[in-house]
Structure 1
């Protein structure tokens, strides 16, 4: 282990937050995540970083092409690296075992930083509006209690906690704001906290995505929030889509594909495009003829009038939903001619209606790779399935739940600037 700052990633998901900190020079000790597919993604990414450092990246290249299995990839790196991804739900019962594994991985080292945010469904405005009980009584509301247990045990100098802005208004059954309960608990454990709402499109991410970033520092200091440097690249969302192969609904491959010519700078400056490794997961869903007809109308409406499709404006023969009073924008085109898309969320794993590709010659929803690019994941990032068989659904879900890598990197870089030893 080198002398870089060490961190632990809780509720790690597919590793968007972690990847940004790794890019900024931090070293992960462990990732804790309950979803098996996301854990395989984290293991595969750990293998990538190790193989790249050892100048053995050809092994990873072979994996992306499907020449070797996932098991063979993992056997090519130290077992301790694979074991640093802890597949476990974080709960009162699981904490002792998780602590034991982390202690073994630390091997006497101190832990400098904890990052991560509990699943956001319990705090999101959409989640509360769809749940009959407004998410009250959902055990995910209280996962911050376990987060505090990690702070209590490892006493990092800082922690970075990310979540949806609905957290600011979410209340317990007793009427207390969860956000206040969190901050009070963190203060009790010895941490002053500061927070801001950051919008990803202010930091080089071509996507409208607002999140709360809560940063804690051990002690009583104030004025330490690592507000990242803004970057507004002079490009549109078309930059994300243009060099990927043109495919129609049902076409493409989960394995390697060739990129087209690219003469811009953004994809390189953001860390997305990698000309040394193949691009994967550029496979589109199949769609019904009815959906394709709706997509065509939505694309034309945006291209010709820059207007969104209202479901009630469709011909009667294309209307199948009984709900005609809400979610009228359920079919939405990704606006290639704007500087940021609408927010990518995990619902993209259910259907692609809210993420229609803007090219009238393709008429389909976004592929996992296109969604990953909107989240600024590098093209060499592979999203795993629970089984070794490659699939789209798990990839979409992981991508939609992730923190944009570039936003994380910007926060991590500024945290180094304000770091006090």
Structure 2
């Protein structure tokens, strides 16, 4: 079964569908850094299929350049990543590219969801116009054009739960507008709020997942059994070397001894004896002092640090009434962490490592593990120069691959039953 991934980001949703046996025809994404990540992952899957994975491993160990890696990937594979904004100006170009890539094959699934900022509750609260004039509010109309053109059997549309309450100036629900439009295109749409932690992801991440079925009838939405590995967040740190702020390596980092099974069952560890991008941000002495306070409070009775508890000389914000939890430890002794979001690319204050001896925020690899990205998944920047910021942003915006794989497997079951 073939799919195209719209608004792909780094490809977390796609990764889960590939694992479930689906074949990607194209990924469409506006962000150049994310497109480089997608191309590198396309290379991984191609080289793995052709028993040449050693070349990919050479790349993520910095033995060959990105240019050399991409030279090993056929043009058609690389061209499946389409770096264009979806919209009236480019849709015809994108259709032509996808038509060329798919040949005579059908598109069975369309997956992906447009940027969430326009529907986000936090985004609306911070914007003086409550995102009313944001053009991203209506990207679902572009999504519908792809449904109309390709007529897939199903589509999967992911977004933030703020979509349930987001309304136009005249009080219309964006969610209802979507469902009505998709119905016009021939799709009955159902949705649920799904929680990543119910799929074995060690993160408290709620997302609304719309599934549309061509000429579908009510009641097709799959039922998901909850997965519980009975571990705590500490599991993602156990085999990673300890780091101080500003240290680590973009490339190969050998594992410490690990005697658990979560990392293998969740496909985070998948056969290599090393990982990458375990590199910590540098922090100011002031931030490290605050981080230490936050960890000490958590260790002393699982208390969270309130911004007003920070010594006055360390406070940099005049706002002491809202967002008072802006410094937060990723608690190792809880069954799941707070939601990993794209703001992690700006600073690490909301993602403090629980080990006080390391006194730092999470590395990209630790954040990627909370999202269940496999350890051989490499996040790119715009140029060949490595970018920790771009990696954090892509990780925070992604769908956890473990969750995506479960969704894909259930949809595969639906098709088999039909």
Same fold (TM over 0.5): yes
| Aligned mate of 1:272, from 268, 271, 278 | 268
- What is the Cα deviation at residue 173 of structure 1? 2.2
| Aligned mate of 2:199, from 176, 193, 203 | 203
Equivalent residue number for residue 255 of structure 1: 251
- What is the Cα deviation at residue 221 of structure 1? 1.6
DSSP-derived class of the 1:215 partner: strand
For the pair 1:320 / 2:307, whether they are aligned, the reply is no
d(CA) in 2 for partners of 1:185, 1:146? 11
d(CA) in 1 for partners of 2:222, 2:14? 16
Equivalent residue number for residue 327 of structure 2: 331
- What is the Cα deviation at residue 81 of structure 1? 0.3
List per-residue Cα deviations over 1:394-416 (Å, max 9, x = no partner). Answer: 00000000001100000000111
CA contact (8 A) 2:10 2:379 kept: yes
- What is the Cα deviation at residue 277 of structure 1? 5.5
For the pair 1:305 / 2:301, whether they are aligned, the reply is yes
| Aligned mate of 1:132, from 112, 128, 131 | 128
List per-residue Cα deviations over 1:63-84 (Å, max 9, x = no partner). Answer: 0111111111111121100000
- What is the Cα deviation at residue 278 of structure 1? 2.9
| Aligned mate of 1:118, from 104, 114, 125 | 114
CA contact (8 A) 1:254 1:391 kept: no
Matched residues, number: 417
DSSP-derived class of the 2:172 partner: coil
CA contact (8 A) 2:255 2:273 kept: no
- What is the Cα deviation at residue 229 of structure 1? 2.7
CA contact (8 A) 2:4 2:24 kept: yes
For the pair 1:91 / 2:83, whether they are aligned, the reply is no
d(CA) in 1 for partners of 2:49, 2:299? 45
Question: What TM-score do the two structures reach when normalised by structure 1?
Answer: 0.98
d(CA) in 2 for partners of 1:66, 1:109? 37
Within 5 Å, give how 1:10-409 maps onto structure 2.
10-276=6-272, 278-409=274-405
List per-residue Cα deviations over 1:10-53 (Å, max 9, x = no partner). Answer: 00000000000000000000000000000000000010011111
CA contact (8 A) 2:47 2:53 kept: yes
d(CA) in 1 for partners of 2:219, 2:270? 37
d(CA) in 1 for partners of 2:93, 2:203? 38
d(CA) in 1 for partners of 2:373, 2:290? 30
d(CA) in 1 for partners of 2:402, 2:85? 27
Question: What TM-score do the two structures reach when normalised by structure 2?
Answer: 0.99
d(CA) in 2 for partners of 1:225, 1:205? 21
d(CA) in 1 for partners of 2:17, 2:113? 15
CA contact (8 A) 1:201 1:209 kept: yes
- What is the Cα deviation at residue 227 of structure 1? 3.0
CA contact (8 A) 2:124 2:130 kept: yes
List per-residue Cα deviations over 1:91-115 (Å, max 9, x = no partner). Answer: 1111000000000001111110000
- What is the Cα deviation at residue 391 of structure 1? 1.5
List per-residue Cα deviations over 1:358-389 (Å, max 9, x = no partner). Answer: 00110000000000000000000000000001
RMSD (CA atoms)? 0.9
d(CA) in 2 for partners of 1:228, 1:399? 24
- What is the Cα deviation at residue 267 of structure 1? 0.3
Gap regions ≥5 residues in structure 2 = none
List per-residue Cα deviations over 1:275-306 (Å, max 9, x = no partner). Answer: 42631110000000000000001001001220
DSSP-derived class of the 1:166 partner: helix
d(CA) in 1 for partners of 2:105, 2:175? 31
Moved more, 203-212 or 272-281: 272-281
CA contact (8 A) 2:203 2:339 kept: yes
CA contact (8 A) 1:206 1:236 kept: yes
Structure 1 residues 277 and 34, CA gap change in structure 2 (3 angstroms):
farther
d(CA) in 2 for partners of 1:382, 1:278? 12
For the pair 1:415 / 2:411, whether they are aligned, the reply is yes
DSSP-derived class of the 1:163 partner: strand
